[in-house]
Structure 1
Amino acid sequence: MSTVKSTLPDATLKVVGEALRGALVDLIDLSLVAKQTHWNIIGPRFRSVHLQLDDVVSTARAHSDTVAERSATLGVPPDGRAATVAAGTGISDPPEGWQRDDAAVRFMVDALGAVIVRMRERLDEVGPVDSVSEDVLIQITKDLEKHHWMFQAENAG
C-alpha cells in the first residue's frame, strides 16, 4: 500500500496534522450535539431554533469533510471514529431528554464558544507554518462565529 506524502517538512506536518485532527473531532461532535439538541428541543421558539440547529449541523458536516480531505491531502489519515471523537472533543455533553428552547440556545452558545476557542488556538499554531491549512481553519472559525452570534442574539434581551 502506498502512502500519501506531503511536501511539508515533518515538523510542520506534525503541527498541522494535530490541528486538523482536533478540528475534525470538534466539528464531528458539534454536528452530533447540535442534532441531539435539534431532536429534543421544546418551547415557544421551537421552530426557529430547530431550524437554526440544522444550519449548525450542515456547517459542521461540510467543514468536517473539508478538514478530513485537507488532512488526507497532507498524508495524515483522518480519524472520525466515535471513540476518537469522544476522547478528544472540547464540547460538553448535551443534557439528556427534552430541552427548553432557552436552555438549548444557552447550550449551543457554550458548545460553539468552546469550539471557537480551540479553533483560534489552532490558527495560532498553524498560521506561521501553513497558510493553506490556516485558510481552511479561518473559514471554519468565521462560520462558527456567525452561528455563535446568532444563538447569542436568540436569548438576548
Structure 2
Amino acid sequence: MPQNFVPFLKENARTEMIELLNARLADTIDLANAVKQAHWNIKGVGFIGVHELLDDVADHLREGSDLMAERVVMMGGLAQGTSKTVAEKSSLSAYPTEIVKLDDHVEALVERYNDFTTKLRQGIEAADEAGDEDTADLLTEVSRTAEKDAWFIGSNGNKAV
C-alpha cells in the first residue's frame, strides 16, 4: 500500500477524498479529450483562434488532472486515470464526434464545462465538510481555471449558449 503523507485526516475522510478526487480525475481527463476532439475537428469563421485556445485549455485540464492524481497518491491512494477507467467512470456526457461547426463545438464544450464545474464545486463542499482544506483549495484552483476557460470558449461562439 502506498504511504499516506496526509496523516491528519481521519481514515474515512481520507478514503472519501481519494474517491472524490479519482471521480473528478476521470471527468477532467474526459473533458481534456473532448477539448482535443473539438480542437482537431473544428471548422468555421474564427477557426484559428479557437483552435489555438483549445490547445491552451487542454493544457489547463492536464495540469488540473496532474494535481488531483498527485493528491490521491499523497493520501495513500492510487490515481485511476487510464483510458479504460476514464471511459467507465467519467460522469460527463459523451462528446459528440460527428460535429465540425464552431458553434456546435462551443455549445457542446460549454455544456460539459458547466457540468464539470458544478461537480467541482460539490467536491469543494465535500472536502470542506471532511476537514480537508488542501483538497478543497486544489479543487477551487481547478474550478477557477475551468470557469475562466469556459467563459473564453463560450465567448467564441456566434450564438448564445
Q: What TM-score, normalized by structure 2, do the two folds share? A: 0.91
Corresponding residue for 2:151?
149
Work out whether 1:86 is the aligned partner of 2:87: yes
Point out where structure 1 has 5 or more consecutive residues left out of the alignment: none
3-state SS of the aligned residue for 1:42?
coil
Tell me, in whole angstroms, the C-alpha distance in 1 between the residues paired with 2:71 and 2:17.
10
Comparing 146-155 with 49-58, which one deviates more in the overlay?
146-155
Aligned twin of 2:140: 138
Aligned residues of 2:2 and 2:77 also touching (Cα < 8 A): no
Q: What is the Cα deviation at residue 104 of structure 1?
A: 0.7
Q: Within 5 A, what are the aligned runs for 1:2-151?
A: 3-5=2-4, 6-7=6-7, 8-128=9-129, 129-151=131-153
Partner Cα distance (1:67, 1:30) in 2: 14
SS in 2 for 1:154: coil
Q: How far apart are the structure 1 equivalents of 2:40 and 2:152?
A: 19
C-alpha contact 1:37 1:94 (8 A) present in aligned 2: no
**Alpha-carbon RMSD:** 1.4
- TM-score by length of structure 1 reads 0.93
Amino acid at match of 1:117: T
Aligned residues: 156
Question: Is there any run of 5+ residues in structure 2 with no aligned partner, and where?
Answer: none
Aligned residues with identical type, % of pairs: 29
